Structure 1
Amino acid sequence: MKTLNIVGGGSAGWMAAIYLNRYFNREVKNFQVNVIESPDIGIIGVGEATVHSIRFFFGAMGLDEAELMAETNATIKSGIMFRNWKKPIAGQTHEYFHPFDQQQPGGSVDISSAWFVGGRKSQERYDEGVSVNSHLIKWGHCPKGASSSNYQGAVPYGYHLDATLLARFLRRKAVEQGVRHIEATVTDVEVAAGKILSVQTDQGAFAGDFFLDCTGFRGLLLEKLQSDNWESFADVLPCDKAVAIQREFPMGTNPRSYTVATALSSGWAWQIDLVNRQGSGYVYDSGRISPEDAERELRDFLGPEAGVLKCTHLDMKVGCRRNTWVGNCAAIGLSSGFIEPLESTGLHMIHLGVSLLATHLAGDDGSGVLRDSYNEKMRGFYQDLKQFIVLHYCLSDRDDSEFWRAAPATVEGCAWLKSKLPLWKRKICEYQDFAGSYASIFTDANYRYVLYGMQHYPELRFAMSEGELEGIFQRFSQLLVRAKAGTLDHAQFLQAMHAKKVSLTGP
């Protein structure tokens, strides 16, 4: 039996532990999985939103959804509302919604093309014309129904959750399933012939056959094996700091089932509602604004109506490892790479990294072929996400600050995206445009929400009959009627989750 040492806890360490333990030790114990976690080093713990695919991770781990949500103070996330990313339109703040679904109610062309040909952009936002989630949030509903199964709903959804509580929840579940939790602080890493022999800690040395670096931006293990192994994305994604504020709910409000991302002077602010508080923060370019001014701008934006519980300043290292797997060590989470949290991809990249590592480790013969394959894919995934995030910035027409005046030029560092933007002014953005890419979650449907939300519209020169157009959108309207009847009010759904927590832990 081999030993797999995971150094570092947090979401990365414990997601990796529970996944790899389940993958390799389901029938026969192939690995002793250890998590070496320092009691003295806290986790960042501010990443509180997810993409919808994280449900598949939790479900595959056999976790009960109601228990998960109750233990992490979670709410449902139906998508992200973007505000102020362009100049006001007709005196109104610019906004668009990026939901987790796009409907295709049938017809000779897709609903997006029909939306343009039918001239519907004069009467509704693009997302309102093609997404059920866009209407659920207006009704105050979430995708879950009274009889929805674990991780199932009328349409895809993600979560807002407390990242610190998630790590504790996963730790408890992993230990119950046989993972060994070692509380120790790493003091040194013993390396020989390009491999890690052991980690030295204040509780002794721990040898292993394979190591996972989950030590965050420090990359404590991987840095010992290969220096100069970081590719920065600062040339196109200059936001390198954040100030995060946890605060009480404004009086008389219920948690929203969507994230809000509002553009400020030198970056953007997030607002994420949990059942017990709101998490907010300002992701900004420190070359344009100081930490003190960023905190002041965030507090002014939030207003005085709710009490601040906690304020934290964070440094961010935006980019990725050129080689995520070196020798007998692979990095997972922030030590592997980081894309600013605009589209909530942190947990997704942990899920992607650890699940891909499992399939590669399962057949590894030491030749390096599988290691090289893993490194190529992980670097490609980060490069793909980089371009999708740049898309949000480069289409802005704001000129009220240095930051926003520089934003359109960020596309110059993304050759693939730069080549596609003129194309998407002449044709619909479609799945085939992504052939050969490393898209891991964001494809044509997601690009359409950003492109058309930012008013980067195609000019389509074909016609459809009134009857055909009416049929497509009538069928979409019927989908909305069924969705409204089959889903719960978000606040009522959360009350049921709270009742579940009481039954689990006692009054």
Structure 2
Amino acid sequence: DLVTHVDVGPNGHIAGVATRDHGVLDADLFIDCSGFRAELIGGALGEPVKSVRSHLFTDRAITAKLPYDRARSPLPSFTGATAHEAGWFWDIGLAHAHGVGCVYSSAHIDDARASEILHAYLGMEPGSVPTRMLEFEPGYRERQWIGNCVAVGLAGGFLEPLEATGIVMIEAAVAMIAEMLPHGGPIDAPAARFNALMRARYDNVVTFLKLHYCLSRRREPFWRDNADRASWPVRLGELIDQWRYRAPGRFDLTLDTETFAYFNYQYVLYGMNEDAALPSGLNRLANAEIADRQFARIRSLGDRAKRELLPNRELLETIGGQEARARRG
């Protein structure tokens, strides 16, 4: 169905939503799941998107799908993320095609250069594969619950695809709505609390995303600008200063508003070879014998997984077959 008109009452609440096929809908609570269009929270109620472009520079992507050479080519069980001069590539093994996207900052390279970078990554001539252009504004709405309308998902905000936070943001919003929605009486107080928690959650994701960029030692303008402390969220700078002398820990984060835990920060921090203190327990790994035993155990677990688990394509086909049988009853 399509929304044709939204009637907003004098109290700022949505009085009704007119649709093409189902007429006018009235309700006590409207949940805006209209994606980037944000027809209720943005279109009708006028809540703007707060840009975070000063921290996260990427705002465009060129995507392509390539068929596999063989019908049953192996499917990787992970998504690849590879840096380039002004952003990064995603590389996903889909069931019937190979999905690749070049995410980039339009302030650092133009669309033509991004297309060149994508085709070079693919090892193909420009124009040899169909591509699709996507544009997005990294940001979120500071008030995602206004009156009797709550925005969930893309209607509430979108940052960038480096960490796929869309589903977890939806789950967080739905859980809070279910618990905080009163059975009667005013809803201003729960709405204000919901908005404060969602703002904190988005800000914390921005901080974690920025960590991926700001530690790079690449010399292209995009990466130098990311390494410039002026582009960092204040909280991130404070944490990195502390982590030079101690490891990231659980007391650094307010758990009820976090999408990523302290160990996620450790993975990025140490993976980037940042000058940071190690967790105290890891100091024992200076002993080569202990380290060798740990690595041997990890290899053994990996070998066992390869023996006992289905290849990714077979697993997905099995799941798909089960779902098809369930639909048939």
TM-score (ref. length: structure 2): 0.86
d(CA) in 1 for partners of 2:106 and 2:256? Answer: 32
Specify the alignment match of 1:287 in structure 2.
Answer: 107
Alignment partner of 2:28 out of 195, 203, 209: 209
Residues 225 and 231, structure 2, Cα contact 8 Å, conserved in 1: no
Higher helix share: 2
Specify the alignment match of 1:241 in structure 2.
Answer: 60
d(CA) in 1 for partners of 2:25 and 2:187? Answer: 25
Specify the alignment match of 1:439 in structure 2.
Answer: 258
Residues 248 and 308, structure 1, Cα contact 8 Å, conserved in 2: no
- The residue identity in structure 1 corresponding to 2:234 is A
1:217 deviates by: 2.2
CA 1:346–1:328: 2 relative to 1, 3 Å: same
- The residue identity in structure 1 corresponding to 2:30 is F
Number of equivalences: 320
SS at 1:257 equivalent: coil
Specify the alignment match of 2:18 in structure 1.
Answer: 200
Write out per-residue CA displacement over residues 393-424 of structure 1, whole angstroms, 9 at most, x where no aligned residue: 0001000x221221112664311110111222
SS at 1:449 equivalent: helix
Residues 210 and 232, structure 2, Cα contact 8 Å, conserved in 1: no
SS at 1:242 equivalent: strand
1:373 deviates by: 1.1
1:453 matched to 2:271? The reply is yes
Off by >6 Å, runs of 4+ in structure 1: none
Alignment partner of 1:424 out of 217, 240, 243: 243
Residues 6 and 44, structure 2, Cα contact 8 Å, conserved in 1: no
1:492 matched to 2:311? The reply is no
Percent identical residues: 32
SS at 1:343 equivalent: coil
- The residue identity in structure 2 corresponding to 1:190 is D
Specify the alignment match of 2:82 in structure 1.
Answer: 262
CA 1:290–1:478: 2 relative to 1, 3 Å: closer
- The residue identity in structure 2 corresponding to 1:205 is V
CA 1:502–1:363: 2 relative to 1, 3 Å: closer
Specify the alignment match of 1:408 in structure 2.
Answer: 227
CA 1:410–1:385: 2 relative to 1, 3 Å: farther
RMSD: 2.9
1:495 deviates by: 4.3
Residues 92 and 99, structure 2, Cα contact 8 Å, conserved in 1: yes
TM-score (ref. length: structure 1): 0.57
Alignment partner of 2:195 out of 364, 375, 390: 375
- The residue identity in structure 2 corresponding to 1:187 is T
1:186 deviates by: 1.4
- The residue identity in structure 1 corresponding to 2:113 is D
d(CA) in 1 for partners of 2:244 and 2:143? Answer: 36
Q: Which runs of 5+ in 1 are unaligned?
A: 1-182
Specify the alignment match of 1:189 in structure 2.
Answer: 6
1:199 deviates by: 1.4
d(CA) in 2 for partners of 1:502 and 1:379? Answer: 40
1:227 matched to 2:51? The reply is no
d(CA) in 2 for partners of 1:254 and 1:308? Answer: 24
1:303 deviates by: 2.2
d(CA) in 2 for partners of 1:351 and 1:268? Answer: 27
d(CA) in 2 for partners of 1:499 and 1:246? Answer: 24
Write out per-residue CA displacement over residues 435-469 of structure 1, whole angstroms, 9 at most, x where no aligned residue: 467212x1122111111111114345896466665
Residues 243 and 314, structure 1, Cα contact 8 Å, conserved in 2: yes
d(CA) in 2 for partners of 1:356 and 1:467? Answer: 48
1:391 matched to 2:208? The reply is no
Query: 1:39-438 counterparts in 2 under 5 A?
Result: 183=1, 185-192=2-9, 193-203=11-21, 204-224=23-43, 226-227=45-46, 229-251=48-70, 253-304=73-124, 310-363=130-183, 365-399=185-219, 401-409=220-228, 412-435=231-254, 438=257
